[in-house]
Amino acid sequence: MFIRVHDNFLVNNNYVESIKRYELILKNGIHIPVSRTRYMDVKKEVFKKIYNVLIVNFSILLSCLRCLLSRLRSMYCILKKSDMIFLLSIVGKS
């Protein structure tokens, strides 16, 4: 998505690294001026993009954690059963 940040600049939001006071910093290090009249709208668009990326990354992380928790529960159940079998075999030998 492209953002008009100044009369002379149209910027692809995917290449924006951050925004400072009246200035965009692109991922390649280039600084682009933002006009005073467009600053608040540009800032909203940049933060909306950052927020969406964070939400997607958080969703992926949460999914991975759920999978890991499920595997840990499975491993715990397997270990618990093997301990019971081991304990029963020790008790049976006595």
Answer yes or no: is pLDDT of 66 > 70: yes
Please say if the pLDDT value at position 9 is more than 70.
yes
Model-level pTM greater than 0.75? no
Q: Is the pLDDT of residue 71 over 90?
A: no
Query: How far apart are the C-alpha atoms of 54 and 12, rounded to whole Å?
Result: 19
Q: What is the CA radius of gyration of the chain?
A: 27
CA distance from start to end of the chain = 74
| pLDDT attached to residue 48 | 86
Structural tokens at position 69: 């928790």
| pLDDT on residue 38 | 94
Model confidence pLDDT, tens digit, residues 25-39: 999 999 999 999 999
- Show the tokens assigned to 71: 């595997």
